[in-house]
Amino acid sequence: MSTITSFQNPRFKRVRKLHEGRHRRKLGLFLIEGVRPLVLAYRARVRLAEVFVCRDHPLSPQARELLLELDRRGVPLWEVAPRVFQEMLLGQRNEGVVAVAHTPRRALETLRLPPQPVVAVLDQVEKPGNIGAVFRSADASGVAAVLLSDPGTDLFNPHAIHASLGAVFTVPCAVGTAPEVKAFLEAHHLPCYAAQVGASQLYTQVDWTQGGAIVLGNEARGLGPLWRQDTQPVALPMLGQVDSLNVSVAAGVFFYEAWRQRHQGLGEPKSASES
């Protein structure tokens, strides 16, 4: 591998540009930092443009095996001086590997769902860390797909990839406008549910065995107008002084209740005093 030692190197400059969403959109490229997300992206057949390896950084056996495979596949590999490599990173954790990848197309018309699926809809969610955390929970709980409705950031923001531990590459997903996502759900005959303070129906009383969409809104404004009029309100118990949960925490509560019903039956879970 040739070694990049200068901050003036055009490849270094391109990586730095990809820290910003406008350049990611313009170039059709994004960054993958770390070994585990890169492994999952490779398994998901994300097309890699090139990979940078920090010189003298100790690599895990998994990283070495992956780099050998990428080299056999003809993916360009570049060694980078440590001080230059550190400036390539958007996050603070250095695992010695950064990749530039071509942004995959995530269109609704290409998404295939199983019968009676549970899917998540993120409406106008802006924080990439929240998006990534929702993907991580979706992957863990077997959610069929995550749909981004008018997202406030790009799906492959490096912070979203990091927060998801690479689950943005493992969970089927698509991006569209609110009307497009709504039409997609209607075509699949999926009812839409969203947490709302004071709703008469608890989230445990929804029949998730028949499938449905869990709609989660913007961190500050909540659901957009289309979703406010077309979702069934359900309550998550709030027993303290605050009246809402972080969007990724609420998503996890919904996801695992759906999993419980679909794997253990529809009945109400027992309380600690009843078990």
Taking 50 as the threshold, does the pLDDT of residue 75 lie above it?
Answer: yes
Give the class (CATH, top level) of 3-102.
Answer: alpha beta
**pLDDT value of position 268:** 62
Model confidence at 2, pLDDT cuts 50, 70, 90, reads confident
**pLDDT value of position 273:** 42
Distance CA 170, CA 204 (A): 27
Q: Is 265 left (phi over 0), alpha (psi -120 to 50) or beta?
A: left
Task: Give 206-259 pLDDT, tens digit per residue.
Answer: 999 999 999 999 888 888 889 988 899 998 988 888 877 889 999 999 999 999
Taking 70 as the threshold, does the pLDDT of residue 267 lie above it?
Answer: no
Give the class (CATH, top level) of 108-264.
Answer: alpha beta
Segment 112-118 mean pLDDT: 96
Taking 90 as the threshold, does the pLDDT of residue 43 lie above it?
Answer: yes
CATH 3.40.1280.10 positions along the chain are 108-264
Q: For the beta carbon of residue 81, count every other beta carbon within 10 angstroms.
A: 17
**pLDDT value of position 272:** 40
Mean pLDDT, the chain, whole residue set: 92
Distance CA 117, CA 185 (A): 11
CATH 3.30.1330.30 positions along the chain are 3-102
**pLDDT value of position 242:** 83
Model confidence at 269, pLDDT cuts 50, 70, 90, reads low
Residue scoring higher pLDDT (30 or 228):
30
Q: Which of 37, 19, 41, 43 is nearest to 29 (CA)?
A: 19
